[in-house]
């Protein structure tokens, strides 16, 4: 996916071949890319964190976990973790010195929405994989990983709402 054009990525997603993988990671990669764009120029802790998160999300979006449902579910768990860290960064950017600039605010809100989609989609990927996993310890690990997803989705929605309210003032 890394060297494909947007058209190629969308065509791949639309194909009737085996699917269900990659959408959550792609949402996360888009979200953190927007955060990297919204980060203050010239480096600093926030820009460094955005760059590191962007690299992690790109790896997730370009890796294929293979057919093993445990590997697939664990890859989706990593997407949730990246998205949560992305929301932490989005909240930092929302309160930063550039937060009232329209472009930064739009990027933060768009990132929040992409990260919300990432965690929601990753949860579904894990739930689908759970049907093929019989090991009780692995099932418990995965169920614990999806437990906070509703809170993360709500947190992302609230962040978007706060940004929108801030823009209307």
Q: For the chain, what is the mean pLDDT?
A: 89
Domain boundaries, the chain: 22-168
Percent of the chain's residues with pLDDT above 90: 66
pLDDT band at 42 (very low <50, low <70, confident <90, very high): confident
Give the HSE-up count for residue 57: Cα atoms under 13 Å, Cβ half-sphere: 32
Task: Enumerate residues 6+ apart whose C-beta is below 8 A from 163.
Answer: 94, 105, 108, 109, 112
pLDDT at 100: 62
pLDDT band at 1 (very low <50, low <70, confident <90, very high): low
């Amino acid at each position: 996916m890394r060297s494909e054009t947007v058209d190629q990525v969308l065509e791949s997603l639309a194909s009737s071949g085996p699917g269900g993988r990659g959408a959550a990671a792609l949402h996360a990669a888009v979200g953190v890319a927007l955060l990297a764009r919204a980060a203050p120029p010239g480096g600093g802790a926030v820009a460094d964190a955005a760059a590191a998160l962007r690299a992690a999300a790109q790896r997730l979006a370009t890796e294929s976990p293979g057919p093993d449902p445990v590997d697939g579910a664990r890859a989706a768990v990593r997407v949730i973790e990246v998205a949560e860290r992305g929301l932490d960064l989005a909240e930092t950017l929302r309160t930063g010195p550039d937060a009232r600039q329209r472009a930064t605010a739009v990027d933060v809100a768009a990132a929040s929405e992409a990260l919300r989609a990432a965690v929601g989609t990753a949860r579904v990927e894990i739930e689908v994989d759970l049907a093929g996993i019989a090991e009780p310890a692995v099932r418990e690990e995965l169920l614990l990983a999806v437990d906070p997803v509703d809170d993360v989705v709500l947190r992302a929605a609230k962040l978007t709402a706060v940004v929108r309210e801030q823009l209307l003032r």
